[in-house]
Each structure stands twice: as structure tokens, then as C-alpha cells.
Amino acid sequence: MTLGRLPAWRFALQCVLGAAGALAQAQPALDPDAALRTSQAAVGRELADHALLDRQGQPVRLSAYRGKPLLVSFIYTGCFEVCPTTTRSLSEAVDAMAKVFGADKFNVISVGFNQPFDSPPAMRAFAKQMRIDAPNWDFLSPPPASVDALTRDFGFSYVATPAGFDHVLTVSVVDGLGKVYQQVYGERLSQDKLGEPLRRLLRDNPLPADTTLDALVRRVRLVCTVYDAKTGTYRTDYGLLLEVAGGVTFALAMLWFFIGEWRTRRRARRAASPLATHEPA
């Protein structure tokens, strides 16, 4: 059938679809290689003290999360598939890591980059939809004017498309000093992908001011926590725990031995000293 014999409505529909296809082809695509280079270039970068809003519209600065490791995920609330899937995967990993390391040992933030649409009410609704109410997880909205600077700081790349956004699927792991420590990629975030950098950061932190026996036991357990690929979870390696206990016991035994030797020699020197045998007239 020739174009001239097509019904008017079919001709109009083909024109609309053709224009939409041309528009989609004209849209800039996200360059995966360039996005990866940008992301990796952010590793080691100290983040600026960006100002954001929490779900209640209250101001919060990025520096408020310093002192503990921080997991940062960029999402947009209008996404119906990838962002919810990634966030659910992150939630499962966070729940598992909280049981191993403690929920009070690290923080998580999801940042809505599609402004002004990812407002505090939109982020609040997204968190409710994801059923996330963890006390160490915040959903934040940056001011529209600061989105570019914020995403550039984290090395996060995104491109608007007719269907929404093409963006890097990444979680930035930030250390307690506010520097990007590692970028973790993928839609499915297993415990080992996020748990290993988090465990290293917690392990390498200076000893806390709390030096009670309970705090020291938690510290030793953290050092002896390993990822079990068979179960897909972290567990305490009691073999390492016994090695640590044996090493501590040996060190204490050697210390006790040297203290005993020092006391014996000190008594011998006192006994051999003329002052030790002097008797009054």
C-alpha cells in the first residue's frame, strides 16, 4: 500500500512515531567508558560539605555523616524499575551488614538527583514504597542549583532520555573523613561487594574511646569476620578467633615471664648490695 492511500489517522500516527524515534536517536547517550573513568577519578577525593534536605525538609550537611563509613546511592523517584530494584538490593545488603557490623557503625543515604521532582515529600514516599525505615538510612534532596556540583564530586554520571535517565548504577563508599573510598557497581549488590570495603574501613578505624571488654570483643570479632561464598553471608571465623586468643595468651605469658625475671634479678642485686647486709652497731 502506498503512503498516499493510507488513512489519515494512520499517516498521522506514523509521523508521530517517526518523530519520536528521531528524537530518541538525537538524544545524547551515556558513554559507559567515560562514565566509568569519571567515577573512578572520584576515588580518593574529599567531598565538599554539600547542603541537602531530609525527608522532613530539614537541612542536613554532608559533613554530618563524618566519623563513620557512608554508603551513597543516587536515584530518581520517577524510575519504575532500575532504581527500585537497586534500592531493594541495597536494602537487603544493608540489613545483612547491620547484623554483622552493627547498624550504628555506618550510615546510608539515597540522594534524588532529578530536581525539583525528587523533593522531600517524593523521597519520603519512595522510602515508604521501599519499606525502608532503618535509623541509619536517610533519603535526601539536594537544591536544584547544586545537583551538578554534587554529582560531579561523587563522579556520578547521568543523561536525560525520553524514558527517564541513563545513569551509572553505583554505590559510593565514603570513609569517615569524607573521602570517596571505593565505587561499587551493579544492579544487584551482594554482601561481599559492599561488605568488604565496609569491613576494611571499620577494621582500620582507630580504636574507639570505649575500651571496655565488650568493645574490645566487638573489635576482635570484626577482624575475624569473613565472607562465606557458599552461604552468601558474613560469619565469624572462629579459627582466626582462636589464633588471636592464642597470640594474646602467648604475649601475656611472655610478659609475665619477663616481669618475673626482672623481679628475680632485682632481688638478687639487692641481696648482693653492701647496703642490704649492713647492720646497725
Q: Are residues 177 and 273 in the same domain?
A: no
Specify the pLDDT at position 64: 96
Q: Are residues 40 and 15 in the same domain?
A: no
Q: Are residues 190 and 270 in the same domain?
A: no
More confident residue, 29 or 145: 145
Mean pLDDT of 254-263: 76
Length of the chain measured in residues: 281
Structural domain includes residue 2: yes
Specify the pLDDT at position 157: 94
Structural domain includes residue 56: yes
**pLDDT tens, residue by residue, 178-203:** 999 999 998 887 777 888 898 889 88
Instruction: Give the Cα separation of 80 and 87 in Å (integer).
Output: 12
Residue keyed to cell 578467633: 241
Of the pLDDT bands very low, low, confident and very high (cuts 50, 70, 90), residue 12 is very low
Instruction: Give the Cα separation of 140 and 112 in Å (integer).
Output: 6
pTM of the predicted model, to two decimals? 0.68
Structural domain includes residue 226: no
Produce one character per residue of 3-40: b if its CB has 16 or more CB atoms within 10 Å, e if not: eeeeeeeeeeeeeeeeeeeeeeeeeeeeeeeebbebbe
Structural domain includes residue 232: no
Structural domain includes residue 217: no
Of 189, 206, 223, the residue that ends a domain is 206
Q: Are residues 37 and 23 in the same domain?
A: no
**pLDDT tens, residue by residue, 130-158:** 999 999 999 999 999 999 999 999 999 99
Domain that holds residue 5: 1-27
Total structural domains in the chain? 3
Specify the pLDDT at position 245: 53
Is residue 119 over pLDDT 90? Answer: yes
Q: Are residues 135 and 251 in the same domain?
A: no
Which residues contact residue 28 at a Cβ distance below 8 angstroms, ignoring those fewer than 6 apart? 159
Contact 94, 71 (CB under 8 A): yes
Contact 54, 140 (CB under 8 A): yes
Specify the pLDDT at position 78: 92
Specify the pLDDT at position 186: 87
More confident residue, 224 or 261: 261
In degrees rounded to 5, what are phi and psi of residue 84?
-60, -40
Helices (H), 130-230: 147-154, 191-204, 213-223
Q: Are residues 69 and 22 in the same domain?
A: no
Q: Are residues 178 and 44 in the same domain?
A: yes
Specify the pLDDT at position 118: 97
At residue 180, the 3 state secondary structure works out as: strand
Q: Are residues 146 and 101 in the same domain?
A: yes
Structural domain includes residue 211: no
The segment with the largest mean pLDDT, out of 9-13, 196-200, 269-273, is 196-200
Specify the pLDDT at position 274: 62
Q: Are residues 161 and 105 in the same domain?
A: yes
Instruction: Give the Cα separation of 123 and 111 in Å (integer).
Output: 8
Closest residue by Cα to residue 154 from 51, 71, 45: 45
Q: Are residues 181 and 273 in the same domain?
A: no
Q: Are residues 22 and 55 in the same domain?
A: no
Average pLDDT, the chain: 78
More confident residue, 62 or 243: 62
Structural domain includes residue 8: yes
